[in-house]
Amino acid sequence: MLPLSMLGGTLDPVEEALSPWQTAIMTDLALVWFKRDLRCTDHAPLAAAARCRSAVGLYVLEDEWLGAPEWDPQHWEFIRQSLLELRDNLAARGMPLLLRRGAMPLVLAQLWRDYPFTELLSHEETGSAWTYARDRRVAAWCRERGIAWRQWPQFGVVRPLAQRDGWAEAWERFMARPPLAAVGQLPGTTTPLDGGDIPSLDALGLPAARPIPPAGEAAATRTLESFIAERGSRYLHTLSSPLLAERGCSRLSAHLAYGTVSMRQVVQRTRQRLRELRKEGSAEAGERARHLRGFLSRLHWHCHFIQKLEDEPASEFHNFSRSYDGLREDDWSEERFLAWAEGRTGFPFVDACMRCLRATGWINFRMRAMLVSFASYHLWLHWRGTGLFLARQFLDFEPGIHWSQMQMQSGTTGINTLRIYSPNKQWADQDPRGEFVRRWLPEWGSPDYPPPIVDEQRAARIAKERIWARRRQPEARAEARQVLERHGSRKDRSRTPRPKAQPQPPTTTEQLELFAGE
């Protein structure tokens, strides 16, 4: 598979704010394609559309997405609610939002006959493989008709990127630019167009979704403000506990995944609050600032992991380090998988976390790490199968973060520290009074609850031996150096990366905060 950067039609994210055509007066007919950017604020395609003679918005419900193995009804329900608000917000500014269903090039062709747009405006997307293939078809369709497809980066992912020298500085420059204000008035169109319905799951003949939190741009703003102003005051003390993290984490992960708020808005609002706290100068303000700095540090890693999928799209399917091919592929056990997926492994804390995730679509970072670790090491299950299951459970599924983290937790990147979570130790540390387990596992302690599916210590020891047997091989060591040089984050463009000096992705105690998009 070619890297996404080969699609073309994109702008250098370092220079996108200074692009001359972006600031020029545009007179063509524009189609703004909404994907995972369901907002009006800090939205470069909308800002460009405001300079056009006529513009309409478009969201396409793609059957390819509905049939994808990572799709779940809760994903559409969150998008549907966000689209309802977005349609009203755009209408208030004079722009219609069209909803269509079908394959993207076919939808474009049908719309083009009624509305002969000459500009297709959108954000870049680093998504699952089907979105990559879809974008290639869209690019070909636009080229054949002489339509200019303009794409903007949505956050700090760079397209194209040869290597990571200076990547951190590019991220910082992007995040430091002022977020684009919501456009006050948009041009709209005099062409009569059918807006189309934004269908419910029931209208689509699809299963009902589990309950989801409020969606849309207004809900994202409320969630951000409540975290910055109050909920984040003990962030570092709450993020590891499944009981406390429910309120103490930002809970912005789904909003970031679907773009009802931009990463730049979150970064800059957090920095603004830190400046306010510094001015206050009290001990209490200093303590609040410490927790918000901890949150801000994790935002830096969000784009780092998505950049990995941008540069290595095959990592959705194959081991990041191919030296680990064949390690687990032939050992899949459907019995072990179902016990893990259904929350009946006989390990109470593991099962309670899985039950919570399946019921709510969210659980905190450390518990996600434990679930993946337990499946990958104690049950020796391949990350692809367990990753698809988790993608359907996570309301905040973000492909770049998801697959990078699945592989890190499974030990197949070749460069990250091998950490195997002890589920019983995590239970003792994070739920010492058993409150969380009793809430989600009412049969715990009764004859109905099964015995442990594996011997914890023996399974962990065997898994560690298997991984290290591969990691010690010369070809694995050589590949690890190549992976580090290609994907290690570093600041000095002139310096060749050295493994011992390299900043590494956060440790297991931190990294799944990003898994949740926090």
- Whole-number Å distance between alpha carbons of 170 and 167: 5
Q: Angle CA(18)–CA(38)–CA(29) in degrees, nearest 5?
A: 60
- Whole-number Å distance between alpha carbons of 252 and 227: 9
What are the structure tokens assigned to 189, written together? 């169109």
**Rg of the chain taking only CA atoms, in angstroms:** 23
Tell me which DSSP letter residue 183 carries. P
- Whole-number Å distance between alpha carbons of 198 and 65: 16
Binding residues for FAD: 235, 295
The angle that helices 456-471 and 474-487 make with each other, rounded to 10 degrees, is 80
DSSP string, 238-294: HTT-TTTHHHHS---HHHHHHTSS-HHHHHHHHHHHHHHHHHH--HHHHHHHHHHHH
Binding residues: 235, 295
- Whole-number Å distance between alpha carbons of 480 and 79: 39
- Whole-number Å distance between alpha carbons of 407 and 318: 9
Alpha helix ranges (H) inside 12-165: 20-23, 44-49, 63-66, 73-92, 104-114, 129-145
The sign one gets for the Cα dihedral 354, 356, 358, 361 is negative
